[in-house]
Amino acid sequence: MSDPARPRIEIFDTTLRDGSQLEGISLTVEDKLRIAEQLDWLGIQWIEGGWPGANPKDEEFFRRARTELRLTTSTLVAFGSTRRVAGRVDDDPTLRNLVEAGTAAVCIVGKTWDYHVLEALQTDLAEGVAMVADSVEHLRGHGLEVMFDAEHFFDGYRRNPEYALRVLEAAAERGASTLVLCDTNGGSLPFEVEQVVAEVVAHFRDDVVVAMHTHDDTGCAVANALAGVRGGARQVQGTINGIGERTGNCNLTTVIPNLQLKMGFDVLAPERLQRLTQVAHHLAELENLPLSPQAPYVGSSAFAHKAGLHVSAIAKAPDAYEHTSPALVGNGTRFVVSEMAGRATIKLKAKELGIELDGKAQGEVIDELKRLEHEGYHFEAADASLELLLRRAAGWEHDFFTLESMRVITDELPNGSFTTEATVKVHVGDTRYVEVAEGNGPVNAIDRALRLALQPAYPALGRVHLTDYKVRVLDTGSGTGAVVRVLIDSTDGTRGWSTIGVSENIIEASWQALADSLVYGLLHSADDRPH
Ligand SMILES: [Zn+2]
């Protein structure tokens, strides 16, 4: 439960609106609905769904949201702009679309930088103010909660603070609940942001909520949001995993734990904060954007410790080495194992995975790791292959399938394009399967053929798919005779894992990594996990 003694910070998520501006991202309406459900599950107060009327997708999203989304903690917000220059509110299409979106709250963007009013809108400053005032009043008249999004506020305030404040006042007087101070081009720095926000908050006192909307162009989006909160802002806007155009938006997966765990604000109930890592990974998956292992708090390396002298010390007193407890955000301490690993690391890793290894087996694992890493394996980057190696050392052998043989053929067609076909022969229990599949490359073709064979017996594999495939040539001296290392990242939609293969033959290396991936996926397919 939330603690009433701690001041509250509202979180406003704009993953579906500003986040979808990221180059290369393309969300379907289905994706957007699933993302909204995740945000609600996490406990975000406001979800900006998009700009109704701007494109058919956003329109369909709001239409389907009305019947298909059952939000329990979040309120959906529609985004739009103020009325047009010299236009009327009652025949303005943007405002009409906002009303028709059917949300309880809307957020409208308007200009607070005099230069933009004069140059971009080509109108006078009085009309600039009236556009905001009229639009807020009109939407309030339709019973909507209205947030005013002050575009380029920090730049505008720096050059003409009187005008920037006059626009905010107009919005507040006509009933806007929230004034969103936007660092639209992301050029501000934390110390100036804190000062400006403090001035705005002092000006409006408790009449309105002041919100922060920051972009990461100086690498300070999160720092600027925190500075704004120190200045008195009580709402922070951003996106999960920081996605957004150019360098991205304020990263909610970083700013939320900072506000709650470091600054003492009440942001999410503790049991919801524990969902943060899972939601970050789930959204990355839905968006098809691999999450950086180094993402603060939620990345897979965020609490990873490399083998060394102090591994056993970390196990005894984690707070001596970690800036916060990873469990608070749903992450975990991870011991990274490599050829440098000593017995203590292997013991800890086995314990972390729930594997019993006696002293003899531990010694064998260390020898095996050294041998494999010398050949070119790199287990730090392949947690799932490492787990399988430890399990085998403990006497386990998987019986999901056995490979009899595999063949890959690539043809160049007369038009210059290539086709690849794989044939796999595998045994699942007493049944022998011979399957053929085409793919856009050898790994894809093998993966498809193997799935055709395995899926009837293991429907859970339907959820498992490959998210990344990396090849690295290890011995560049000997050209095509060199050893290659293949790394495959896979996911089942909630958890991700990495596997490795090494060989002089790229197909063989790929097969090793692929087989490990599927074995790991099958091994854990029955794990009980929420969502
Ligand atoms: Zn923005």
Q: Are 225 and 189 in contact (CB under 8 A)?
A: no
Q: Are 78 and 117 in contact (CB under 8 A)?
A: no
Over residues 365-377, mean pLDDT: 88
Q: Is the pLDDT of residue 309 over 80?
A: no
The tokens of 443 are what?
Answer: 């790994």
pTM of the full predicted structure?
Answer: 0.79
- Beta-carbon-side half-sphere exposure of residue 508 (alpha carbons within 13 Å): 6
CA of 152 to the centre of ligand 1 (A): 10
CA of 356 to the centre of ligand 1 (A): 51
CA of 84 to the centre of ligand 1 (A): 20
Identify the pLDDT of residue 233: 98
CA of 110 to the centre of ligand 1 (A): 12
CA of 215 to the centre of ligand 1 (A): 6
Continuous H helices in 288-399: 311-316, 343-353, 359-375, 383-393
Largest CA distance in the chain: 83
CA of 240 to the centre of ligand 1 (A): 13
Predicted confidence (pLDDT) per residue in 379-418, tens digit:
877 889 999 999 999 999 999 999 999 999 988 888 888 8
Q: Are 288 and 295 in contact (CB under 8 A)?
A: no
CA of 248 to the centre of ligand 1 (A): 9
Identify the pLDDT of residue 477: 61
CA of 184 to the centre of ligand 1 (A): 6
Q: 44 or 505: whose pLDDT is higher?
A: 44
The tokens of 93 are what?
Answer: 């299409």
Residues, Cβ < 5 Å to ion ligand 1: 18
Which residue from 44, 41, 9 is spatially nearest to 19, judged by alpha carbons?
Answer: 44
Predicted confidence (pLDDT) per residue in 67-124, tens digit:
999 999 999 999 999 999 999 999 999 999 999 999 999 999 999 999 999 999 999 9
CA of 249 to the centre of ligand 1 (A): 7
CA of 276 to the centre of ligand 1 (A): 22
Q: 9 or 362: whose pLDDT is higher?
A: 9
Over residues 277-306, mean pLDDT: 89
d(CA 96, CA 80): 10
CA of 91 to the centre of ligand 1 (A): 27
Over residues 310-328, mean pLDDT: 83
CA of 452 to the centre of ligand 1 (A): 45
CA of 127 to the centre of ligand 1 (A): 24
CA of 182 to the centre of ligand 1 (A): 7
CA of 232 to the centre of ligand 1 (A): 20
Continuous H helices in 325-460: 343-353, 359-375, 383-393, 442-454
d(CA 477, CA 480): 9
DSSP 234: -
- 531 pLDDT band, cuts 50/70/90, is very low
Predicted confidence (pLDDT) per residue in 185-215, tens digit:
999 999 999 999 999 999 998 889 999 999 9
Over residues 27-53, mean pLDDT: 95
Q: Are 249 and 16 in contact (CB under 8 A)?
A: no
